[in-house]
């Protein structure tokens, strides 16, 4: 996410930090470079112009060149202005005015509208709600089937009456069903088109006027940059959206849509879609996003992902095993699987402050296949081998290598890494015993 803009802005600010003193000319030169980077990132020209002007006003007003840390102050002003442009605070869903609350999900075909509807249902279910998905894309039977499959996966019912009924009648019947069955939120997956046309807009207007939804959320593909922003602007002018969900954010190296859409439409980004998995939907935090764009990491999101994916009881159990020196290869694999549930390792590393610069270096890469290989090797072992790797001999290693489709050298490498990790953990625990304070266990990745 934002790899290109991170790298370029990072280079500008590193040069700035290298200067002991900063003049007004330095400030102008820096902002000129920032302006070019933002334009290359497909940020709206109007937004870029206002952005650099406001940063300059703040910097001149604070007389940064007289400060002991002028570079840090300029970076802070850039961050603060990014936060201001993207919305300043988390935009919550407005769902309290009626029951069932109604959310219309709108957008063009290919934006990820149907998948996003299911992701949002899962998110709201985890928040204690009882959502009902409504298959209102009556022009695409495949969309109805897709929503039913996703609904089954997340255990949320999908209301459908096929494709021979008007969307207005369908939604009215869905509301009646929700009231009778204790469903407090309707999530309506509306029909899309390949492009914005009069028929699409009229249908959405008719539906809106009949059901008076609390939320009209527009789903747009972040990777389309300014096209996404223009699409949001048009939908808002025609229908009146309440917020935006940006999908495919994990593939957006530039960041233009995320930076521009709130300023251009006046409506906030409420969620971002990251990855294809059903859990890949996050509330949009402008301050955290600004930190990611500037390569400062995003520790809070990392912690939230860990809390959602990692079983704390298992962590405590593993800590006890380490104290007793009974941590096995089966435990090692269990940790690996919990880490994988948090998302791609490269994305997680990018959330660690200071790591984005290392991550962007040409010689640095995280090979996800290595994690898969480790898992395959351990799964090819017997229970006895996982518990007591000391019994491994040449024939056992050969059998495991064949069973997991790797070389014997890969098996040897894993066993060596496991022994090194056990030693490291023992030293860590011994240190805790000596200080009478047991350090909290953290994942060794």
Fold of 101-297: Rossmann fold (3.40.50)
Region(s) of the chain under CATH 1.10.260.30: 303-434
Q: Which CATH superfamily is domain 303-434 in?
A: Signal recognition particle, SRP54 subunit, M-domain (1.10.260.30)
Q: How far apart are CA 357 and CA 296, in angstroms?
A: 9
DSSP 188-218: EEE---SS--HHHHHHHHHHHHHH--SEEEE
- Find the Cα–Cα–Cα–Cα dihedral 341, 345, 346, 347, rounded to 10°: 30
Region(s) of the chain under CATH 3.40.50.300: 101-297
Q: How far apart are CA 428 and CA 426, in angstroms?
A: 5
Region(s) of the chain under CATH 1.20.120.140: 3-86
In the chain the first and final C-alpha atoms are separated, in Å, by: 21
Q: Is the pTM of the predicted complex or chain greater than 0.85? A: no
Q: How far apart are CA 290 and CA 86, in angstroms?
A: 8
Architecture of domain 3-86: Up-down Bundle (1.20)
Q: How far apart are CA 369 and CA 372, in angstroms?
A: 5
Q: Digits of tens for pLDDT over the chain (445 positions)? A: 567 787 888 888 878 776 667 778 888 888 999 999 888 888 888 889 999 999 888 887 776 656 657 777 788 888 889 889 888 788 889 887 788 999 999 998 888 899 999 999 999 999 999 999 999 988 888 889 999 999 999 999 999 987 778 888 999 999 999 999 999 999 999 988 777 778 888 888 888 888 889 999 999 888 887 888 888 888 898 888 999 999 988 766 566 788 888 888 889 999 998 878 888 898 998 888 888 787 765 455 555 555 555 555 665 665 566 555 667 887 777 777 666 666 665 566 555 555 554 444 444 445 567 778 888 999 899 989 888 888 999 999 999 999 999 999 999 988 888 887 777 666 655 655 555 444 443 433 3
| Helices (runs of H) and strands (runs of E) counted in the chain | 20, 8
DSSP 226-251: HHHHHHHHHHHHHT--SEEEEE-GGG
The helix (H) or strand (E) run that includes residue 399 is: helix 394-404
Q: How far apart are CA 284 and CA 116, in angstroms?
A: 14
């Amino acid at each position: 996410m934002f790899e290109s803009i991170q790298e370029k802005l990072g280079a500008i600010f590193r040069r700035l930090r290298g200067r002991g003193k900063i003049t007004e000319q330095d400030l102008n030169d820096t902002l000129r470079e920032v302006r070019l980077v933002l334009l290359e990132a497909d940020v709206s020209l109007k937004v870029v112009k206002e952005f650099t002007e406001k940063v300059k006003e703040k910097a001149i007003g604070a007389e940064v060149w007289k400060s002991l840390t002028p570079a840090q102050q300029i970076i802070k002003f850039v961050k603060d202005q990014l936060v201001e442009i993207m919305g300043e605070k988390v935009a919550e869903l407005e769902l309290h005015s009626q029951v069932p609350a109604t959310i219309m999900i709108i957008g063009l075909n290919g934006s990820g509208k149907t998948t996003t509807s299911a992701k949002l249902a899962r998110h709201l279910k985890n928040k204690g709600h009882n959502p009902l998905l409504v298959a209102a894309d009556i022009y695409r039977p495949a969309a109805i089937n897709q929503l039913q499959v996703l609904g089954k996966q997340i255990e949320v019912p999908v209301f459908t009456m096929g494709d021979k009924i008007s969307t207005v009648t369908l939604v009215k019947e869905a509301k009646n069903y929700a009231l009778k069955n204790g469903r407090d939120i309707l999530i309506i997956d509306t029909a899309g088109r390949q492009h914005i046309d009069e028929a699409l807009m009229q249908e959405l207007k008719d539906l809106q006027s009949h059901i008076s939804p609390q939320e009209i959320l527009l789903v747009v593909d972040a990777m389309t940059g300014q096209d996404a922003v223009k699409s949001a602007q048009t939908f808002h002018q025609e229908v009146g959206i309440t917020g935006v969900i940006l999908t495919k954010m994990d593939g957006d190296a530039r960041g233009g849509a995320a930076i521009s859409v709130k300023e251009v439409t006046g409506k906030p980004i409420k969620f971002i879609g990251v990855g294809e998995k059903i859990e890949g939907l996050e509330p949009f935090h402008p301050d955290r996003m600004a930190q990611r764009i500037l390569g400062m990491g995003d520790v809070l999101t990392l912690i939230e992902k860990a809390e959602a994916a990692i079983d704390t009881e298992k962590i405590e159990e593993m800590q006890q095993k380490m104290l007793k020196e009974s941590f096995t290869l089966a435990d090692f694999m269990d940790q690996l699987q919990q880490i994988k549930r948090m998302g791609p390792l490269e994305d997680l590393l990018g959330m660690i402050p200071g790591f984005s610069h290392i991550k962007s270096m040409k010689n640095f890469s995280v090979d996800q296949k290595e994690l898969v290989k480790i898992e395959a090797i351990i799964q090819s072992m017997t229970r006895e081998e996982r518990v007591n790797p000391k019994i491994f001999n040449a024939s056992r290693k050969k059998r495991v290598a064949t069973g997991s489709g790797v070389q014997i050298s890969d098996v040897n490498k894993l066993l060596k890494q496991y022994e090194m990790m056990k030693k490291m953990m023992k030293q860590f625990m011994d240190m805790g015993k000596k200080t009478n304070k047991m350090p909290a266990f953290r994942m060794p990745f």
